[in-house]
Structure 1
Amino acid sequence: MIPEVCLPITVIVPTYNDGGYLGEALSSILSQSTPPEMLVVVDDGSATADAEEIVTVLKAEKNIHTQIVYLKQSNQGPSAARNAGLKLALTPYVAFLDADDRMLASNLATMWQALNELADDYFGVYGTYCDLETGKPYPFADLDGCIAPDKVGKKGGVAGGVHTYLFRTYHLKSVGGFDESLVNNEDFDLIIRLLRTGLKCKGKVTTCFEKRNRMGSLSRPWEPLLAYNNTLRFLQKAEKSGYFTDKELVLRRRSTQMNYAKLLMKQGKEKEAVNIWHEVFKIKPSSIREFYHWVIYQRLRFGKKIG
């Protein structure tokens, strides 16, 4: 049975210059069908006091039963911000939300019911997310158990983003939380490390939140080269640690390169995009997505107009 007042959950929200969106994100948490016991907002060195002012207003509202905590630190990135929030979490369960996304109204209650029924060797349950503009959910699979890392963060696999999970707090702390040397794919890394200890997860429970596809937030750097290099850093760790099969590692590297080329094209940097695609297509296309990129590459290579 769900508690009448609050769920034994801490929701952690890192923010960095997200004042225009943060209030909406926090309201979506506090207006849950059953709200969490604790909400921790970690300001990762924002240039303004917007986040603190938003939290101050919310704390003054009399009908809120959730304990709201505000913490400001120097800018250290999303992993450090989430770890700072995790240190303050006193509840047995923890969830995460980005400052520019919106949690759906019954998410916490639905996820808590699902996880509370599972044995302690389940580190968490996962759902999915939908695009804020289209409402289309991402097609993760309904899987249960100690899932192979190759399936993390992929269509037809398990969720890679931590925002789609409800976790048992002690399992997160047992693996040391987030790797603060990673800026991109730090959540994939966390899920994989949990699975590699032999722990389990279960999903797809529900649609958890609406995702705003906005580049430039704390967890979605806007600069293509920065995001590209940060993702390669994760893949280097993955190779060294043996996270993926050899085939999967190659596929993820190729996907990272194609995403980078696509972003370069949007910035009008066709020559740079061609150089990246040249590296990718030393191996022939092996999927419809790769073939689509290969066609663009060939047209640019031979001077044909795109579109």
Structure 2
Amino acid sequence: MIGSGDVADVAVVIPCCNGEHHIDRALSSVVTQPGLSMEIVVVDDGSTDRSVDRAKAFSEVQVISTPNRGAAAARNAGLRATKAPLVKFLDADDELLPDALTEQVEAVNQLGPEQIHVGGWYVLADAGQKRRHGCQRDGGGQVPNLIIQNILTSGPLHRRHLLERVNGFDERFPWNQEWNLHIRLAASGAQFLFHEQAVYCAHRRSDAGRITNKKFKTRDFVRKELDMIEWTRQSIGRSERTDVAFAFRAMRIAKSAAKLGQLADAHAALAFARAISPRDYRRHWPSKYTAIHRLFGTRLGEKALIRYWQMSS
């Protein structure tokens, strides 16, 4: 979609692993965006189905095949293979809304060099239910806010120089890669500007192949989640406000573990929260959780809270 030697307006990078049933939809939503010169790269992450053939059917698309190393490595490979100053990462099971990327590029061109445009999204579930999601707001500091509330991968339109400044995605992360990236970008000085207008539709499947579904079946998923919190803490430097936010995230991991019946892991996640923010780890807790915890004291309160989560699953 660009001539030899020209630099495109925007690069679209789509990691794909066994996505033959939805990669056509994602690519069709990209190639029909009007008025843009684009580099479109599908990074096949070791697919064993017909994903590569499906992607190659689009003449505008460059396909890069790599061994299976995960979405973070695939996105970094796509970043290295492109040159455009703006970069849109699109998940293979998402689709851009009509004109959305064109409008996002126009909006970004009105912003400063440290600013990143983030759009809203729709979620379309298996049963056809459609829900609109707006973007988070910055209240209390952007980095702590990003720790608590994630921006999903397909929402931002990134600036290449900011991605390169933080060395792209951390390839240690089996999931939560965009969470870590956005926190590091904000900590480096980038500013996310949130807009309500939806830019993509996220198709949420209930099958076990989705990373979000697979992680809960992964052995030691709580340990991996806590490792990822610690890696992110180390990458941005410690502060009281960010540690309180990380402690809140650890509490949510404990809740997930309790609902799965992994009670020892739930206790470990709460202990992790206490360790990183001893005086204030409950600051962002819902009042109901805080009341249960205070009623029984720290140790018995944690047991009661875990029991409550388990019973409400």
TM-score bucket (shorter structure): 0.7 to 0.9
Residues of 2 paired with 1:211 and 1:153: CA distance? 21
Counterpart-to-counterpart distance in 2, 1:183 and 1:299:
26
1:3 aligned residue: none
Q: What is the distance in 2 between the residues matched to 1:13 and 1:149?
A: 26
- Structure 2 residue identity aligned to 1:104: L
1:20-40 per-residue CA deviation (whole Å, 9 max, x = no partner) reads 111111111112244551110
Partner secondary structure for residue 136 of structure 1: strand
Q: Distance in 2 between matches of 1:261 and 1:91?
A: 45
Q: Render the CA deviation track for 1:169-201: whole Å, top value 9, x for unaligned.
A: 122122211111112221121112111222222
Q: How far does residue 86 in structure 1 lie from its aligned partner after superposition?
A: 0.2
- The within-5 A match list for 1:184-199 is 184-199=175-190
C-alpha contact (below 8 Å) 1:184/1:230 kept by paired residues: no
Instruction: State the shift of 1:9 in Å.
Output: 0.8
Q: Secondary structure of 1:113's match?
A: helix
Q: Partners in 2 of 1:299 and 1:256 — Cα distance? A: 11
1:287 aligns with 2:282: no
**Structure 2: tracts of 5 or more residues without a match:** 1-6, 275-281, 293-301
Paired position in structure 1 for 2:98: 105
Per-residue Cα deviation, 1:243-271 (whole angstroms, up to 9, x for no partner): 66222121100112222333x2xxxxxxx
Q: Give the distance between the partners of 1:18 and 1:229, measured in 2 at CA.
A: 28
Question: In 2, distance between residues paired with 1:54 and 1:289?
Answer: 50
What is the alpha-carbon distance in structure 2 between the residues aligned to residue 181 and residue 69 of structure 1?
26
TM normalised by structure 1 equals 0.78
1:130 to 105, 109, 122: 122
Q: CA RMSD in A?
A: 3.3
Distance 2:155 2:65 in 1: 25
Residue correspondences, number? 277
Closer/same/farther in 2, CA of residues 252 and 245 from structure 1, 3 Å limit = same
CA shift in 2, pair 1:142/1:12, >3 Å: same
Describe how 1:61-100 pairs up with structure 2 within 5 A.
67-100=60-93
- Counterparts of residues 10-159 of structure 1 (less than 5 Å): 10-35=11-36, 37-48=38-49, 50-59=50-59, 67-122=60-115, 124-133=116-125, 134-143=129-138, 148-152=142-146, 154=148
**TM-score for both structures, normalised by structure 2:** 0.76
Higher deviation after alignment, 28-37 or 12-21? 28-37
Q: What's the counterpart of residue 64 of structure 1?
A: none
Tell me whether 201-210 or 84-93 shows the greater mean CA deviation.
201-210
SS in 2 for 1:19: coil
- 8 Å CA contact 1:129–1:208 kept in 2: the answer is yes
Q: Name the SS of the counterpart of 1:119 in structure 2.
A: coil
Structure 2 counterpart of 1:177, from 148, 151, 168: 168
- Amino acid corresponding to residue 206 of structure 1 in structure 2: Q
**Kept after mapping to 1: 8 A contact 2:124/2:203:** yes
> Which one of 232, 238, 246 corresponds to residue 232 of structure 2?
238
Residue 307 of structure 2: aligned partner: 297
Aligned partners of 2:20 and 2:11: how far apart in 1? 21
CA distance in 2, matches of 1:26, 1:184: 23
State the SS of the aligned residue for 1:18. coil
**2:247 corresponds to which residue?**
250
The CA deviation at 1:211 is 1.4
Task: Indicate if the aligned counterparts of 1:10 and 1:93 stay in contact, CA closer than 8 A.
Answer: yes
Query: Any stretches of 5+ residues in structure 1 without a counterpart?
Result: 1-5, 60-66, 265-271
> 1:34, 1:106 within 8 Å by CA — same for their partners in 2?
no
Distance 1:300 1:56 in 2: 47
Identical residues among aligned pairs (%) = 23
Cα deviation code 1:60-110 (max 9, x no counterpart):
xxxxxxx41001100001110000000011111110111111211122022
Task: Report SS of the residue matched to 1:150.
Answer: helix
Aligned partners of 1:29 and 1:103 also within 8 Å:
yes
Distance 1:298 1:193, change over 3 A: closer
2:202 pairs, out of 208, 211, 218, with 211
Could you tell me which amino acid in structure 2 is paired with residue 148 of structure 1? Answer: Q
